[in-house]
Amino acid sequence: MEFKVAAYEDYERLASLQAQSWKMFYRGALESRYLDIDVLAERRAVWQTRLINPPYNQHVLMLEEGGLLCGFICAFGNHDYEKGTIIDALHIDDYYLGKGLGVQLVGHVSQWVKKHFPNNGIYVNIVKSNRRAITFCERLGGHFKQERTWNTPCGSQVPELIYSWNSPEKLLESISQLQNSALNLVKG
């Protein structure tokens, strides 16, 4: 597998994977009509805009295998004065779910934050009904901070949870501990 920083020509693949992911994990949270009809076009517009002239604090990292997009992560450094850098998107193709790609992507973004925004925390907003994402953040040592309302692209309001890490080092430490635990299980 190879890591690649996203470029403008990748917008279609990013939009497709995010739309696929939202259809899988946000069904019931977002309106069905939006997920069935509008999500792909709306996500295309978002990714075209983000990649045509990216802001200095945006980092979109893709993970590919044989030219196929397996997953991606998008972060905005120093996005919030108090919380720091936001992981705005993390999506893995359903074929690769549960294979550690999300942890790898979060690890790379944490290294990027450590290099470019060293005095920042890291946080993520998660749709409250997305149990898989909540479990993922908790396994990585994320701390629940607050519940808020997301005004979605389809016009509905959805409860979401904010999880955070005080620093990129804390997140990297949690990733290392998780990987060491997994290694110890394999060694038996």
Q: How many domains are there within the chain?
A: 1
Stretch 28-46: mean pLDDT = 93
Q: Which CATH number characterizes residue 183's domain?
A: 3.40.630.30
Instruction: Provide the β-strand partners of residue 84.
Output: 80
Rounded CA-CA distance 8/32 in Å is 29
At 112-168, the pLDDT tens digits run 999 999 888 999 999 999 999 999 999 999 999 999 999 999 888 999 999 999 999
DSSP codes of every residue in 69-119: EEEEEEEEEEEETTTEEEEEEEEE-GGGTTSSHHHHHHHHHHHHHHHH-TT
- pLDDT of 57 above 90: yes
Rounded CA-CA distance 120/96 in Å is 30
Stretch 36-45: mean pLDDT = 94
Using a cut of 0.85, tell me whether the model's pTM lies above it: yes
Report pLDDT for 181.
Answer: 65
Task: Provide the 10 A C-beta neighbour count for residue 66.
Answer: 7
Report pLDDT for 179.
Answer: 74
Query: Is the separation of the CB atoms in 84 and 118 below 8 Å?
Result: no
At 69-110, the pLDDT tens digits run 999 999 999 999 899 999 999 999 999 998 999 999 999 999
Pairing of strands 122-127, 84-92: parallel
Rounded CA-CA distance 138/54 in Å is 30
Range of the domain at 57: 2-187
- pLDDT of 183 above 80: no
Give me the torsion for CA of 105, 160, 29, 59, rounded to 10°.
-30
φ and ψ at residue 54, rounded to 5 degrees? -65, 140
